[in-house]
Amino acid sequence: EVLLRMHSVGICGSDVHYWQHGRIGDFVVKDPMVLGHEASGTVVKVGSGVTHLKPGDRVAIEPGVPREMDEFCKTGRYNLSPTIFFCATPPDDGNLCRYYKHSASYCYKLPDNITFEEGALIEPLSVGIHACKRAEVTLGSKVFVSGSGPIGLVNVIVAKMMGAAAVVVTDLSASRLQKAKEVGADFTVQVKNETPQEVASRVEGVLGCMPDITVECTGVQACIQAGIYATRSGGTLVLVGLGPEMVTVPIVNAAVREVDIRGIFRYCNTWPAAIALLASKRIDVKPLVTHRFPLEKALEAFETTKRGEGVKVMLKCDPTDQSP
């Protein structure tokens, strides 16, 4: 293990949800819990067996650490391990604090040209990498991203990086769609109160065809329905957003058109690729951060996220750090 002095921690919708509702599905907060899982920091101390890190190293933290070498770990899908430790998922504490101890294998050294903030953004970016891999985005893909929050935006960034020829994004908010344009979306569709079928036909209208791939990032029932109707026959729908446990969807429509429906659970094996992409400047996640607060103003930061202002709210945990 390593002891870290924390630097930057992003606030996620799940952090806000635990704070407001005390549970997400079967994960119930029963005792006080430290929030935060999008994080970077500086190594202060290393355990006796740690060789790849030393005090002073700047690192990005992967929050999910398997507790045992089970069948999922053996096949490289450690995110599915039922006993995994995960920051800020009850009962495991997160890392929105000054000092934090973590498994050294899940701390990744940051090159000098990647900022702490970018290091913290690797966590949401990883959701996009994992989702687009599961969707099999490739050269020339036409992609529909449903929802333009932070996770919708990272999916736009990654889909373009993976060779998507055209990406269309839907959302209720004009300002969020503007941000999608900034990070590389080719088309945006502002949804008002159309039916799911109408949304699907608007997506087809701007793309000029039905998308091969839909990445659904809202979890809203009507959006999942629109995702099924929109995806071309033989295409793939990846469900990223989490909504109610039971959802009514036109499953027969998907089945008879051979639309593959895939889920994702967080990510695995994404940090090295994310670091390589950021270091080579092939992708830019800096525009995602719209608000910054010191740790003392954490409540204000959470309120800002809860109100849906901006995109990504970032907390700075290290009072001695004077960098911008």
| Cβ-proximal residues to 244 (8 Å cutoff; 6+ apart), any chain | 219, 221
Mark whether 244 and 158 lie in a shared domain. yes
Residue 272 lies in a domain: no
Would 269 be classed as within a structural domain? no
Question: How many structural domains comprise the chain?
Answer: 2
Residue 278 belongs to a domain: no
The percent helix, strand, coil of the chain (3-state, each to 5) is 35, 25, 40
**192-196 contact pairs (CB < 8 A, 24+):** 196/222, 196/223, 196/225, 196/226, 196/228, 196/229
pLDDT at residue 323, as a whole number: 65
- Indicate whether 239 pLDDT > 80: yes
* In the predicted structure, residue 324 carries a pLDDT above the cut 70: no
Domain housing 88:
2-109+285-316
DSSP 69-115: --HHHHTT-GGG-TT-EETTBTTB----SSEEEE-GGGEEEPPTTS-
What are the tens digits of pLDDT across the range 92-117? Answer: 999 999 999 999 999 999 999 999 99
| pLDDT tens column, 135-189 | 999 999 999 999 999 999 999 999 999 999 999 999 999 999 999 999 999 999 9
How much is the average pLDDT of 79-103?
Answer: 97
Q: Measuring CA to CA, which residue among 324, 318, 291 is closest to residue 39?
A: 318
Q: Are residues 253 and 308 in the same domain?
A: no
Q: Is the pLDDT of residue 322 over 80?
A: no
| C-beta of residue 7 within 8 angstroms of C-beta of residue 318 | yes
Q: Which has the closest alpha carbon to 183: 125, 235, 236?
A: 125
For residues 249 and 261, the answer to whether their CB atoms sit within 8 Å is no
Per residue in 258-309, pLDDT tens? 999 999 999 999 999 999 999 999 999 999 999 999 999 999 999 999 999 9
